[in-house]
Every structure is written in C-alpha cells, then in structure tokens.
C-alpha cells in the first residue's frame, strides 16, 4: 500500500490560497480518480478539489473553514502498490536546504500555548504568509495561528496589520536600550477586541459564508496594498442613447437578446485601452506587467455574493458580440453555472453601477489590476451648448479608481478623455453594432 497526498490546487492565475468550505468525503471512504473530495472557496471562485488517485481516504489534514496555501496538503489517500509513507514525516522533517516554505528553527507558537518541537523540526509557512510578514516586519514566532494545527494563515496576518499592533522580535526591541537610558516599563497594549455589536430581540444574525469571506479578504488586500486615487469625467451620450433606442426593438427580434448601453461603454473602454496600453497593466512588486490581451472584467451580483466574469479579447469583438457575452455570463452567474476559467485573466474592470441608479461612486480596484471604471446612471440634465443655448441632454459620469503605484494622473486623464471622445461620437451614421 502507498500513501498519496492531495494538495490545494491553484484555481486561478493570481490565487495563492483556498478555504475548505465543505468536505464531501470522510476517512475510510473509497474514491475513484477525479471524484470530488471537497468544496473550496478562493477570492475568485468556488470549486471542487478532485482526487488524483483511486483509493481509500486515510486522513483529512485540513478542517472545514481552514485556509491553506496553494500546494499545501489537504488530505491523504491510501492506494495499491508502493511503500507506505507516514504523512507526519512529510510535515515535520527538516529539509537539508531552506525553501520558500521553511524558516530557521525558532520557538514558533502554532497553538494557543507554545508547542515543543523535536530537534531539527521546522516551522512551515505559506509563501503568502512569508510575503506579508516580510512586508510589514511581523515576527511570526510571536503570532498565534488559527489555521489547521495552529498554522498561521494570511487572514491572521491581515487582521494584525489592520489592528496596527505589529509583533516585533524581542531582540530588535532590546537593541535600542542602553544602560545609560532609563527604561519605563508598562504592560503591552492589548490586541483590539472584535467589535461588540449588541444583538437585540428581532435582530437577525447572518453567518458569513466562505464566498463573503473571500470577497472581504480580496477587498481588504486591495485597499491595504494598492494606493487608490480617484477621478471622474462627465460625458454627453445623447447621440449614443438615440442610436441605441432606434435599433433596440429590431435588434431584439433579430438576435434574441437586448442590446444594452453597457455594451457600448465596454466597447469604448476596450478601444481606449488599445490606445493607452499602460492602463492595461498590473503591479508585480519589482516590475509592472503591461498585458497584451485586453480582457474586461465585469461585476455581476447575486443576492449574497459578487462575481467578476471576464470578456476575453474584448477589443476584437463588436458591440453585438460584447452584448451577447455580457448576457451569457450574467445568466451563468445567476444560474450557478459559471466556470472557474470564465473568471480568470481579467486585465481591467468595468462596473455598471448605473444599473442601481448611482450617479457617482468610487470603486475598489479588482486586485491585481491597476484600475476600475464605474459607469454611472445616464441622467437627462439641462446643459449649456455652444452659443449659449440650453438643451436637455443625456449625461453620464465615468468614475475611475486607479493604483497610483502603476498609473499617474496624466495617463489616466488622457485615457478618460479618449473614452469620452469615443462615446460622444457614437451616431447612427458612423457606428455599427455588427
């Protein structure tokens, strides 16, 4: 018999970890290759972890609710043939050379109380945990983990960063003290407790689902890591509205779906991104990656979650093609049939906040993208035209949030001006939806 390991798969390009939402098997169950073992949530998708082997489930390493880095072991399977291997040796044995998942031996607090380790045992941290600890100077030996077997998770560190109480190595604190300096002693500041929200009769307590936790984690990461800047431009879309309204009935009869204003906006943004490729970039630590493909992420909401499917190569599609894809992706989200690969590869986000009647808003950037554009509600307003005449015009605000590490006001302003120019020149005479 042999013991095989099932590891946390990578369920997206920028996904670094996943949360075990629900186990679909238990120890002793027989599974076939490709059978679903567990439901996993990430900040991008909910998916199933398939078995890579046929055999008997031996041990569930992770518990429901645990967050593990990509590549970490979630369970073990006993298969026919080969020598048996004890999983505890894989977890605790010290490698000959340090790797990205190991650090020098130290008294790491993995549980609520310190845990004694055998000589040579190593503390194992995921790449995401190591990255955050290095960026914020967190001494991991002073952190109590809430993950499987007391493992420190990225969520643990983000909570510490948010609280502002960064645990620093004791040796670093003592290094600034000299015998000639009087030292005032005081108790360490306590970690802020969770908000004490009183629950009265009639209040409803709603459990936080895995999807909602993933959304919260991604939004928090974006606000913590990306310095947001914001700008807005006003656009006269009277001609575009008249053109779309003149063809919508015939289009619906011919194509079977509505041609929406949103499809025109996505097409205009895609064209402007082609002319200003820096807007189609991402921050990658020591470099900025300017993406070749223009893939527009769009936000689609359900009753309790927000999904961000992607229109691939939107610059190569017609207004009709974009409209059809928006309609199909939204239908898949609401019917629960959206696939993981349909939410991957986005390079720029366009959000249709105007569908809720909003006229001005600041979006949180869809990490690791560099910008998000909010398309607000089209409102008829009096506008002073050339010559001083006042006319009722269809106006819309376009609100752009940008990552100031990647983009400056100059390129963002020119990009928005170009989107405005494209939209204001859409007419029946010079624009085709096909």
Point out the residues that are catalytic.
404, 408
406: DSSP letter: T
Q: Are 140 and 149 in contact (CB under 8 A)?
A: no
187: DSSP letter: P
C-alpha torsion sign, points 359, 362, 367, 369 = positive
The three-state secondary structure class of 228 is strand
* Residue the block writes with tokens 């549980």: 111
- Give the residue ranges of DSSP H helices in 227-341: 238-255, 261-275, 319-335
Contacts of 96 (CB under 8 A, 6+ apart): none
- 398 pairs with which residues across the strands? 233, 375
* Residue the block writes with tokens 């008249």: 242
124: DSSP letter: B
* Residue the block writes with tokens 């100059």: 410
Contacts of 10 (CB under 8 A, 6+ apart): 70
**By C-alpha distance, which of 262, 268, 271, 269 is closest to 244?**
262
Residues in the chain, overall count: 434
Q: Is 387 exposed, middle or buried (0-12, 13-18, 19+ CB in 10 A)?
A: exposed
* Cα–Cα distance for residue pair 355/400, rounded to 1 Å: 17
153: DSSP letter: -
What pairing do the DSSP bridges indicate for beta strands 348-351 and 296-298? Answer: parallel
* Cα–Cα distance for residue pair 312/299, rounded to 1 Å: 14
E strand or H helix at 363: none
E strand or H helix at 379: strand 379-384
102: DSSP letter: B
In angstroms, what CA-CA distances link 209 with 130, 366, 386? Answer: 26, 20, 54
């Amino acid at each position: 018999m042999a013991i095989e390991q099932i590891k946390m798969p990578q369920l997206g390009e920028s996904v670094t970890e996943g949360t075990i939402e629900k186990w679909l098997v238990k120890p002793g169950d027989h599974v076939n290759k490709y059978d679903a073992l567990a439901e996993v949530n990430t900040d991008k998708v909910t998916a199933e972890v398939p078995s890579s082997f046929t055999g008997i489930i031996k041990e569930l390493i992770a518990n429901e609710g645990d967050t593990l880095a990509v590549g970490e072991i979630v369970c073990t399977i006993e298969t026919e043939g080969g020598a048996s291997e004890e999983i505890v040796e894989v977890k605790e044995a010290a490698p000959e050379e340090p790797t990205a998942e190991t650090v020098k031996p130290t008294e790491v607090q993995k549980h609520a109380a310190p845990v004694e380790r055998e000589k040579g045992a190593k503390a194992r941290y995921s790449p995401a945990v190591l990255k955050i600890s290095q960026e914020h100077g967190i001494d991991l030996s002073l952190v109590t983990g809430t993950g499987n077997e007391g493992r420190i998770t990225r969520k643990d560190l983000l909570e510490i960063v948010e609280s502002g109480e960064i645990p620093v190595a004791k040796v670093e604190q003592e290094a600034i003290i000299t015998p000639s300096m009087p030292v005032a002693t005081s108790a360490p500041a306590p970690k802020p407790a969770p908000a004490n929200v009183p629950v009265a009769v009639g209040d409803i307590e709603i459990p936080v689902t895995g999807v909602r936790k993933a959304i919260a984690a991604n939004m928090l990461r974006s606000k913590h890591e990306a310095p947001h800047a914001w700008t807005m431009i006003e656009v006269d879309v009277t001609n575009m509205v008249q053109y779309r309204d003149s063809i919508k009935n015939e289009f619906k009869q011919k194509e079977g779906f509505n041609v929406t204003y949103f499809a025109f906006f996505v097409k205009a943004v895609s064209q402007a991104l082609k002319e200003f490729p820096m807007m189609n970039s991402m921050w990658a630590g020591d470099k900025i990656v300017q993406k070749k493909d223009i893939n527009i992420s769009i936000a689609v909401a359900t009753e309790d979650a927000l999904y961000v499917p992607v229109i691939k190569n939107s610059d190569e599609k017609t207004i009709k093609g974009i409209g059809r894809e928006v309609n199909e992706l939204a239908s898949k989200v609401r019917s629960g049939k959206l696939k993981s690969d349909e939410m991957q590869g986005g390079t720029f986000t366009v959000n249709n906040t105007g569908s809720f009647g909003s006229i001005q808003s600041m979006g949180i950037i869809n990490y690791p993208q560099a910008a998000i554009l909010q398309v607000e509600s089209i409102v008829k307003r009096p506008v002073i035209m050339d010559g001083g005449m006042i006319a009722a015009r269809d106006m819309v605000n376009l609100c752009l949030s940008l990552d100031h590490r990647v983009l400056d006001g100059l390129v963002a302003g020119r990009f928005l001006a170009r989107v405005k120019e494209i939209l204001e020149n859409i007419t029946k005479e010079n624009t085709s939806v096909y």
